[in-house]
Amino acid sequence: MRRLFPGPAADVDPYEEYGDAPALRVGMVMTADGSVTDVEGWTDGIGGAADFRVFRTLRALSDAILVGAATARTGRLGPARLRADLRERRGAPPAPIVVVSRSLRLDWASPLFTEGETPTVVVTSRAAREAGRVPASVPVVTAGDHEVDLGEAVRALREDHGYRRLLCEGGPALTTALVRRGLVDELCLNIAPTLLGGAHHTRLLGALDGEVALEPTAVYLDEGVLFLRYRLAR
């Protein structure tokens, strides 16, 4: 990986470069024309090996990984795992996946909830928690009475459960809601050298209340993928 900005460098270590993790960062990959999914509706292959290296690094540097319920329901998401080298550098088990769900319509028999070294956590509202049936093995964080209060959820995850560094991996609905609430500190956007066109286009964000100013803090290049880091204005 080459750092282009600030202070160009020919060979940098992603773990060191991204090591200054803020309270909440978003990590996403997208095509050069702005789609966060490929022609089959997935993000897996958009950025190739270079993106996966940074993807795994961001996970290793985080205390918990936030995903939306729609992402969990695809069945393609499993518990977080760590390669041996990242485990050694992290010095701890993998971060838990934290599924944010308003309805608790989740497949409790999926590997996401039945496998993995670190139990998957669910964030939901108090009303849904009282009405739903969650396996005793699944930790639950309640935030909000009838809707999930993301501000309360982030506070509880950080202060009550010790997940100080949060990483959001989407999807667009959860990312948009976090940005709208002013909860995101950093956007890590990986731009793949691919054009998709409008037929299969999935936007990074939905509707916002207004413009959100971004301050570029770093730019990297690896195998044709541009890695952009932005600080979000409060």
pTM comes to 0.95
Work out the mean pLDDT of the chain and round it to a whole number.
94
User: CA-to-CA distance for 9 and 228, rounded, in angstroms?
Assistant: 15
DSSP state letter for 119: P
> CA 44 → CA 28, 39, 84, distances in Å?
11, 11, 21
- Residue 231's beta-bridge partner residues? 186, 215
Residue 36: pLDDT above 80? yes
Quick one: average pLDDT of 96-106?
A: 96
pLDDT given for residue 139 in this prediction: 96
Quick one: average pLDDT of 35-43?
A: 80
User: CA-to-CA distance for 232 and 178, rounded, in angstroms?
Assistant: 12
Q: In the structure, what pLDDT confidence band is assigned to residue 201 with cuts at 50, 70 and 90?
A: confident
pLDDT given for residue 191 in this prediction: 96
User: CA-to-CA distance for 42 and 109, rounded, in angstroms?
Assistant: 22
The alpha-helical segments, DSSP class H, found in 99-188 are 111-114, 126-131, 150-155, 172-180
Closest CA to 68 of 30, 109, 112: 112
> CA 122 → CA 38, 47, 135, 192, distances in Å?
27, 28, 11, 31
pLDDT given for residue 103 in this prediction: 92
225 and 190 Cβ atoms separated by less than 8 Å:
yes
- Residue 188's beta-bridge partner residues? 27, 229
Chain centroid offset of residue 132 CA: 25
Query: Model confidence over 124-138: pLDDT tens digits?
Result: 999 999 988 899 999
> CA 199 → CA 39, 219, 225, distances in Å?
8, 29, 23
